[in-house]
Structure 1
Amino acid sequence: MTRIELPERPRILVVALRRLGDVLLTTPLIASLRKAWPDATIEALVFADTAGILAGNPDLDGVVTMPARRTFAQSLSLAMKLGRRYDLAVSTQSGDRPTFFAILAARHVVAPVEARASGAFKSRFLARAVPVAAGVHRVEDMLRLADTLGIERVPRLVPPAALPFEPRPSSAYAVIHAAPMFRYKQWTAQGWRAVAASLKARGLTVIATGGPAADERAYLDDIWQGTDVLRFDGKLSWGQLSGLLADAKVFIGPDTSVTHLAAACGCPTVALFGPTDPRLWGPWPVGGLSDMWADIGAVQQRGNVWLVQRAFPCTPCQLEGCERKLESYSACLDALAPQQVMTAIDEALGPLGR
């Protein structure tokens, strides 16, 4: 497709009104825009609680934020701020709200559209539309937008700029992030304790990370009570977390934003997957995915990422656990054995794990 025509030094807005991990997965698109228009002013519109994942991103000149739950007055204020301020706006979602803000913000708008009446209506306001494709990895979705713009793909995730942190371990360490956003992505407390003990036996300091929320801290208190684990949960900014992960010997975590971040930082990453389909959401390794993740595999490796599953006949169901709700258990994760996880960890550690 021919490259979309923009004026010299254009102003570009990328709209990504999603969760933390999704926003991180938009960074290949942002990097593609920066390479195509090095003199552009490029900004991102995101929810306020996700802006940290873009901190220090060298491809961005600014981040515009909005509350996830906004009042009418806040929406009106944002609309006035955005109104025709940009030469190009790219919505990374087909939803009404992100598409509306993109159309409001720029003369030229590119966005995904669904194959239904609402998508046809939105297409009237777009310079170029991208048909929504089922069964496509989220990063590939972003790169399809670059194709539609007629620009070269840059298939790499860009983590927040690394910042120093204290106390910095004086010996080799592993990082465990045990808390996903939702219950149905949780592994067992016994599993995490067994993995931490095995890592200690291999001579590694074990660092536990997590967010500052009270319920998450309580969950981690239960997991790590009585263990020899260094707790960093609630203490690090996203930039400090990038610095921590960049030097870790291995990272282990469930399907969550920090696992995607670990992979982007180049850390050997072991990802525990349950109901989620790796073909859509498997971590994106440094260097990209020339061979996409399979839907099922006891241990799969792509670049610096090892993906572990306990496959049931229904795996991956792409549902919210066995009870079809966010607070559900997932039998495939509950049945995942620590030894299977340690097999992947030892592969990731290489000689250190033997």
Structure 2
Amino acid sequence: MDSRGIIRSNRILVIAMRFLGDVLLTTALIRSIRLAYPQAQVDVLVFGNTAAMLEGNPDIDRIVTTPNKPHWTDYCKLLLNLFRHYDLAVTTQTGDRPFLYALLAAPVRVGVVPAKNATGWWKRFFMQRWTEFDDVNTHTVLQHLKLADLLAIPRSYELVPPQIGAAGRLAERFEFVTANSGYAVLHPHPQWTYKRWTVAGWVEIGHYLNSLGFTVVLSGGPAEEEVAYVADIAAKLPPGTVNLAGQVSLAELAYIIGHAELFIGPDTGITHMAAATGVAVITLYGPTNPVKWAPWPKGYRRNSNPFQKVGCQCINNINLIQGEGGCVPCHLEGCDRHRQSRSRCLDELLPERIKTAVRQLLVND
């Protein structure tokens, strides 16, 4: 360390082994590190199925991947790849696997540890600097940026969505990207059922946007269930609706969303990505706590949570609509307490509330 307490590092590993949206929310920390250490090698360790969220990220030198459920041979390869290859390891999670990888990767470790009343207190002993994990009252981006504070480097509050190099080819594949008429992107399928709105609601909003002159573009991932779900909605919308489910990469989708007039989506990683592009976002939240997990507004640069726990709110490019009921947000996984259960707060959310938000955006434009 130098006289200011800054950790001097030529090789830095950032560990972010969670879902797509979580990986995106680490990019503000990664940018902070890159700006503070412009000559360093900055690598990021993620699950293989989330690496696409970092495509084209200019702050990263190398993406290291590991399977979600590795075989023992995968562990061996990864450990050989990591062992003392770095001067500094920064882990954004409290789990045992990220902690073990940080321990093996570098002699200096900075990370997030469980609260004192939780298991894992022993991890503090092996961390040179640490901060406690707050799952309720601190937005995830701000939680990550506490690690920048521990490194004594300036914070960057900017998220970096995935990026493509050749946008022209995308325009050749999809005429709506460069057409004079504007388009709106709907992303109706979150990974977990308890975060879903109704098919009828999405269909009604699609028809409404079409009546306003927008080309309606549906996005979705390549999983069989998701493709079928989006296709069912597309079949109920007017001719000219574009169904992109399973047809574009994450970086291509980020480009498409970033050039849309409007994006509407639930609590999912794609909505976080849309927010990072700067497009106007309407997002539908039910059980999830917005203080912790609301999309990070583009251009928001304050060390305070953008959103409060209760109520519909609009911050910069994010219009957050909260579901119905006095129990919202309950912080639970649906009314039946598991990820594949429905959430009544979202099932009872009326399309008219989304239409009102659309009208307000159009007036403000």
TM class by smaller structure? over 0.9
Q: 2 CA distance for matches of 1:312 and 1:318?
A: 13
Greater Cα offset, 78-87 or 286-295: 286-295
Unaligned segments of structure 2, at least 5 residues:
none
Q: 1:269, 1:348 within 8 Å by CA — same for their partners in 2?
A: no
Deviation string, structure 1 residues 300-352 (Cα, Å, up to 9, x no partner): 10000100012311100011100111111100001111110111122233366
Alignment-derived partner of residue 309 in structure 2 = 295
Q: How does 1:99-178 map to 2 (within 5 A)?
A: 99-114=99-114, 115-116=116-117, 118-135=119-136, 136-162=138-164, 163-164=166-167, 165=170, 166-169=173-176, 170=179, 171-178=181-188
Cα shift at 1:51: 0.1
The CA distance in 2 between the partners of 1:150 and 1:221, in whole Å, is: 49
Flag the 1:3–1:288 CA change in 2: closer, same or farther, 3 A.
farther
Superposed, which structure 2 residues align to 1:1-354 within 5 Å? 2-7=4-9, 10-114=10-114, 115-116=116-117, 118-135=119-136, 136-162=138-164, 163-164=166-167, 165=170, 166-169=173-176, 170=179, 171-228=181-238, 229-288=241-300, 290=302, 292-297=306-311, 299-350=312-363
Question: What's the TM-score once normalised by structure 1's chain length?
Answer: 0.95
Alignment deviations for residues 20-62 of structure 1 (CA, whole Å, 9 cap, x no partner): 0000000000000001101111010000000000000010001
Paired residues of 1:268 and 1:349 also in contact (CA < 8 A): no
1:93 Cα shift? 0.3
Residue 86 of structure 1 aligns to a residue in which SS?
Answer: coil
CA 1:148–1:2 in structure 2 vs 1: closer, same or farther (change >3 Å)?
A: farther
Report % sequence identity. Answer: 42
* Corresponding residue SS for 2:74: helix
> 2:110, 2:130 within 8 Å by CA — same for their partners in 1?
yes
Residues 65-113 of structure 1 deviation map (CA, whole Å, 9 limit, x = unaligned): 0000101111111011100000100000011110110111011100111
Contact 1:310–1:332 under 8 Å retained in 2:
yes
How many residues are aligned here?
349
* Paired residue type of 1:95: G
Quick one: distance in 2 between partners of 1:243 and 1:310?
29
Give the partner amino acid of 2:139.
Answer: H
Q: What code does the residue aligned with 1:249 have?
A: E
Secondary structure in 1 aligned to 2:51? helix
**C-alpha separation between the residues in 2 aligned to 1:29 and 1:311?**
34
* Distance (whole Å) between structure 2 residues aligned to residue 315 and residue 5 of structure 1: 42
4+ residue segments displaced more than 6 Å: none
AA paired with 1:305? I
**Partner Cα separation in structure 1 for residue 301 and residue 357 of structure 2:** 19
Cα distance change, pair 120–247 in 1 and its aligned pair in 2 (3 A): same
What SS is found at the alignment partner of 1:97?
Answer: helix
Q: Which amino acid aligns with 1:198?
A: Y
Cα deviations by residue, 1:149-196 (Å, 9 ceiling, x for unpaired): 111000111001145222131121000000000111110111101111
On the 8 A contact 1:249/1:349 being kept in 2, the answer is no
Note closer, same or farther for the CA distance 1:246–1:226 as it changes in structure 2 (3 Å cut): same
Q: How far does residue 117 in structure 1 lie from its aligned partner after superposition?
A: 7.2
Aligned residue for 1:120, secondary structure, equals coil
SS, match of residue 271 in structure 1: strand
Q: What TM-score does the superposition give when structure 2 sets the normalisation length?
A: 0.92
Runs of 5+ consecutive residues of structure 1 not aligned to the other structure: none
Mapped contact 1:270–1:348 kept (Cα < 8 A): no
Q: Residue type of the partner of 2:105? A: A
2:175 and 2:19 map into 1 onto residues whose CA distance is: 29
| Cα distance in 1 for residues equivalent to 2:82 and 2:322 | 44
**Does structure 1 retain, via aligned residues, the 8 Å contact 2:135–2:292?**
no
- 8 Å CA contact retained: 2:103, 2:126: yes
For residues 81 and 179 of structure 1, the distance between their equivalents in structure 2, rounded to whole angstroms, comes to 36
